[in-house]
Amino acid sequence: MWVQYDHLLPYSRGGSNDLQNMVVTCAPCNYGRMEYTLAEARLRNPLERARRQGSWDGLERLLSAV
């Protein structure tokens, strides 16, 4: 599988290209959701998940340095 950027609120529904509206997903998940909102697709916002202690922080430490 390959990864893609996905809009939390789809661009076609008024979502922006800001980093706060973007997540990285697998291509099947991105294409499967299409222009549906997270609520319409019955998905939870991945940014609202509780963090596990010692888990990988992705690119957040790089963003905080900017």
Q: What percent of the chain is predicted at pLDDT more than 70?
A: 85
| Residue bearing the bigger pLDDT, 66 or 18 | 18
2-10 long-range CB contacts below 8 Å, 24 or more apart? Answer: 2/26, 2/27, 3/27, 4/30, 6/30, 6/33, 8/38, 8/45, 8/47, 9/37, 10/34, 10/35, 10/36, 10/37
Break the chain into its structural domains and give their ranges. 3-60
User: Distance between CA 60 and CA 56 in Å, rounded?
Assistant: 10
Q: How far is CA 20 from the centre of its chain?
A: 8
Whether the pTM exceeds 0.85: the reply is no
Q: What is the pLDDT of residues 18-43, one digit of tens each?
A: 999 999 998 998 999 999 999 999 99
